[in-house]
């Protein structure tokens, strides 16, 4: 039970560290690492007894992290900025490695640990950078596109670094040994890719057709861990094999499902990995090398930021873009922890270098929101006449947006609304932060702005001040609340319609002053109830009452919004669902041929109403009782399903009409 006690202690420490990091506005991994320091062997208080077992689980966490990275890599993000991403990021990595090598040599280190230092600081944090630009409302700008492209290439660079660096660190190694390792890795990865592309899609398809979530999850985990273990047996790391497996699955139709299944385990075992990193950090050793740590952090902040800015500028980007990229991507990334773990396991780096690099990573991560927040002030100080960076948009009207509807979210609900407004030629604009959905809307010719709708600058780009209304269609309540709050700050009088996926969310949104709230779950429940009652031949009036009662109970239990526009539309919708409208042809042998509507007494006998007659291409709307039906006429009939059925039976079967 000692292992269970250690695991419980780690979970409690991780929860406490995660809460503290969140309150301080830092990434959760900072809290996890500090939690590891607290329960590690170098500090007092409760201590994990068997670190080796935790490290074994941490190795699985690394594999799942890289498997998820392979699943999440979006090569689509490289297309708009592929030149600076592919070549610029490569140049940046090489120059940053040279910077670290120079700093290490200046501190009196040998060239091998100095080279490792450069490699470790060359990678930036996708997690920290993405969170920072989202918080600042810069997601969707050109600078954010450049950053995401560079981050994708940096993440891919982990693979060759994990292969080459351990060989370079071997005293008996050389160019030939590095080449042999690279060749061996290429052959193995080629075999893995061949197997994965030919066998894995069929296997995943076979499992998916079984419609078992559990079997699909087990198959995904087996693929990630199994391919990783094969790579390990052939002299590569388990994490590298898992990464390749993730890349292969990413190209299939099952990537999103696989990622959603793996994500909870990835987060759990990833937490164990970062806690295990913290366990190896010695505060006494940190204090002993405080001067070297200060030099390394200063070199990272100034040197790496300068390299990033100059590289981006050299590829033709100007205005605020180089400054934003440099001051946002200077930090050391989370995959430096993975790379450092490889170096420490192979004996390539010492505990001193490991501790220095890890602490430098934590410090630079913590500094990122502060330093990145200086971008507008620095840009305004030195380049006051330069225009502010705009958000990426597509298909916006040349005359600008005015008197339009702002739709926050281009998912299934948002796209349905947008398509309907587009067919009616009504003005609107979509706001979407997901690149895939934004690209789909762009290709469909819909006006779309790429960005986070909870940020004022994005809402300003959508011309919220001149909008007629705003529709918030995103599903998560926390996102809905943030978007509504941001919109209300810009336009307190703006009509807002929001989506809520629970009764608590409905009440909370109405309490915040939103005019209209709709819930897909409630609407589905009402429609399915209506269908069930119709099969029991419940009278339409009673069905309408039941539906209205459900709607009142779920949407407005206090009766506050009983007279709102949504409530009225909902009641009208319920009534309309019970009415059918169809066209019925008058056959040659019909008893209706040659008789007037007054003679037939259709409404009295069937309950249906004749609302139109088409004869020889001419329409007679709302015909009176003297209108005569003739063979070949098309008759427009309005009524319930049963009423129309009685009308058709009487017309075609020759059944005489009788009063009901």
Please, which residues bridge with residue 450 across strands?
432
Residues with pLDDT less than 50, the chain? 558, 560, 562-563, 566, 569
Helix, strand or coil, per DSSP, at residue 617: coil
CA distance 514 to 495: 7
> CA distances (Å), 157 to each of 64, 182, 578, in order?
18, 14, 61
| Per-residue pLDDT reduced to its tens digit, 544-562 | 677 777 777 777 654 545 4
Spell out the alpha helix ranges (H) of 209-350: 213-233, 238-250, 255-279, 283-288, 290-298, 305-314, 321-328, 335-345
Domain ranges of the chain: 2-380, 396-517, 519-572, 580-653
Q: Can you read off the two tokens belonging to residue 498?
A: 């929001």
Please, which residues bridge with residue 471 across strands?
407, 497
Spell out the alpha helix ranges (H) of 170-254: 175-198, 200-208, 213-233, 238-250
- β-sheet with 469-472: strand ranges across: 393-394, 448-450, 428-432, 405-408, 469-472, 496-499, 516-518
Residues 6+ apart with CB under 8 A from 377: none
Please, which residues bridge with residue 4 across strands?
none
Identify the pLDDT of residue 447: 93
Identify the pLDDT of residue 123: 92
Radius of gyration over alpha carbons of the chain, in Å?
Answer: 33
Torsion angle of the four alpha carbons 247, 251, 256, 262, in this order, in degrees rounded to the nearest 10 = -30
Running DSSP on this structure, what letter comes out for residue 609?
E
Phi/psi for 635 (5° steps) reads -110, 125
Q: Which residue has the tokens 């419609």?
A: 211
Instruction: Find the helix or strand (DSSP H, E) in which 169 lies.
Output: helix 142-169
Straight-line distance from the first to the last Cα atom of the chain, in angstroms, rounded to the nearest whole number: 79
Running DSSP on this structure, what letter comes out for residue 280?
T
Identify the pLDDT of residue 190: 74
Q: Can you read off the two tokens belonging to residue 417?
A: 């609304």
Identify the pLDDT of residue 576: 56
Q: Can you read off the two tokens belonging to residue 2?
A: 């000692």
Identify the pLDDT of residue 562: 47
CA distance 377 to 375: 6
Q: Are 657 and 629 in contact (CB under 8 A)?
A: no
Closest CA to 153 of 182, 124, 192, 129: 124
CATH code at 2-380? 1.20.1530.20
Please, which residues bridge with residue 407 across strands?
430, 471
Q: Are 234 and 184 in contact (CB under 8 A)?
A: yes
Q: Can you read off the two tokens belonging to residue 490?
A: 């810009």
Spell out the alpha helix ranges (H) of 373-502: 375-382, 412-423, 435-443, 456-461, 477-490
Q: Can you read off the two tokens belonging to residue 6?
A: 């250690």
Q: Is 440 left (phi over 0), alpha (psi -120 to 50) or beta?
A: alpha
| Per-residue pLDDT reduced to its tens digit, 297-356 | 999 999 999 999 999 999 988 888 999 999 999 999 878 888 888 888 778 888 888 888
What is the CATH superfamily name and number for domain 580-653? Regulator of K+ conductance, C-terminal domain (3.30.70.1450)
CA distance 620 to 507: 49
CA distance 80 to 146: 8
CA distance 100 to 165: 14
What is the CATH superfamily name and number for domain 396-517? NAD(P)-binding Rossmann-like Domain (3.40.50.720)
DSSP states of 60-102 as a string? HHHHHHHHHHHHH--GGGGSTTHHIIIIIHHHHHHHHHHHHHH
Identify the pLDDT of residue 200: 74
How are beta strands 496-499 and 469-472 bridged, if at all? parallel
Identify the pLDDT of residue 193: 67
Task: Give me the count of residues in the chain.
Answer: 660
Identify the pLDDT of residue 92: 96
Identify the pLDDT of residue 469: 92
Residue 201: Cβ within 10 Å count? 16
């Amino acid at each position: 039970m000692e292992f269970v006690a250690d695991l419980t202690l780690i979970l409690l420490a991780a929860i406490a560290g995660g809460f503290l990091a969140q309150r301080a506005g830092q990434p959760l991994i900072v809290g996890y690492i500090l939690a590891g320091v607290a329960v590690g062997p170098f500090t007092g208080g409760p201590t994990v007894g068997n670190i080796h077992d935790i490290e074994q689980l941490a190795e699985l966490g690394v594999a799942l992290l890289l498997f998820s990275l392979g699943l999440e890599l979006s090569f689509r993000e490289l297309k708009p900025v592929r030149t600076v991403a592919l070549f610029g990021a490569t140049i940046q990595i090489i120059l940053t490695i040279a910077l670290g090598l120079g700093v290490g040599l200046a501190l009196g280190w040998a060239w091998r640990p100095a080279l490792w230092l450069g490699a470790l600081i060359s990678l930036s944090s996708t997690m920290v950078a993405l969170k920072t630009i989202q918080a600042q409302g810069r997601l969707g700008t050109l600078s954010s596109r450049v950053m995401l492209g560079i981050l994708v290439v940096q993440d891919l660079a982990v693979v060759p670094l994990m292969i080459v660096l351990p060989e370079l660190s071997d005293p008996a190694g050389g160019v030939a040994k590095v080449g042999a390792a690279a060749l061996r890795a290429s052959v193995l990865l080629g075999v893995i890719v061949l197997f994965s592309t030919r066998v894995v899609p069929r296997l995943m398809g076979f499992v998916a057709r079984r419609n078992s979530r559990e079997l699909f999850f087990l198959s995904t985990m087996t693929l990630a861990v199994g391919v990783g273990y094969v790579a390990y047996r052939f002299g590569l790391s388990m994490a590298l094999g898992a990464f390749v497996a993730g890349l292969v699955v990413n190209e299939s139709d099952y990537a999103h499902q696989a990622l959603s299944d793996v994500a909870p385990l990835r987060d759990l075992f990833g937490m164990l990995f970062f806690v295990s990193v913290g366990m190896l950090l010695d505060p006494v050793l940190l204090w002993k090398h405080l001067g070297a740590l200060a030099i390394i952090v200063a070199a990272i902040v100034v040197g790496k930021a300068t390299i990033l800015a100059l590289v981006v500028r050299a590829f033709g980007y100007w205005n605020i873009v180089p400054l934003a990229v440099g001051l946002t991507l200077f930090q050391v990334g989370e995959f430096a922890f993975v790379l450092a773990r490889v170096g420490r396991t192979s004996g390539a780096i010492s505990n001193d270098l490991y501790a220095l690099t890890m602490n430098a990573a934590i410090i630079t991560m913590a500094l990122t929101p502060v330093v990145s927040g200086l971008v507008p002030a620095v840009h305004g100080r030195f380049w006051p006449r330069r225009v502010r960076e705009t958000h990426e948009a597509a298909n916006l009207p040349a005359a600008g947006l005015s008197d339009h509807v702002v739709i926050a979210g281009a998912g299934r609900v948002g796209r349905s609304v947008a398509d309907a407004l587009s067919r009616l030629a009504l003005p609107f604009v979509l706001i979407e932060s997901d690149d895939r959905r934004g690209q789909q809307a762009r290709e469909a010719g819909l006006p779309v702005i790429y960005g986070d709708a909870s940020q004022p600058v994005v809402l300003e780009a959508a011309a919220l001040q001149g909008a007629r209304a705003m529709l918030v269609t995103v599903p998560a309540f926390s996102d809905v609340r943030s978007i509504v709050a941001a919109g209300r700050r810009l336009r307190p009088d703006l009509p807002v319609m929001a989506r809520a996926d629970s009764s608590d969310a409905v009440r909370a949104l109405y309490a915040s002053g939103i005019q209209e709230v709709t819930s897909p779950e409630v609407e589905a429940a009402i429609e399915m109830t209506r269908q069930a009652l119709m099969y029991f031949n419940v009278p339409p009036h009673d069905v309408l009452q039941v539906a209205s009662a459900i709607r009142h109970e779920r949407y407005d239990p206090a009766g506050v919004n009983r007279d709102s526009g949504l409530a009225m539309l909902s009641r009208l919708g319920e009534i309309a669902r019970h009415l059918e409208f169809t066209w019925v042809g008058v056959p040659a042998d019909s008893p209706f041929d040659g008789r007037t509507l007054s003679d037939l007494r259709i409404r009295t006998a069937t309950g249906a109403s004749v609302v139109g007659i088409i004869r020889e291409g001419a329409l007679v709307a709302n015909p009176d009782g003297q209108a005569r039906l003739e063979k070949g006429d098309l008759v427009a009939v309005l009524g319930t399903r049963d009423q129309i059925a009685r009308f058709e039976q009487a017309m075609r079967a020759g059944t005489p009409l009788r009063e009901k």
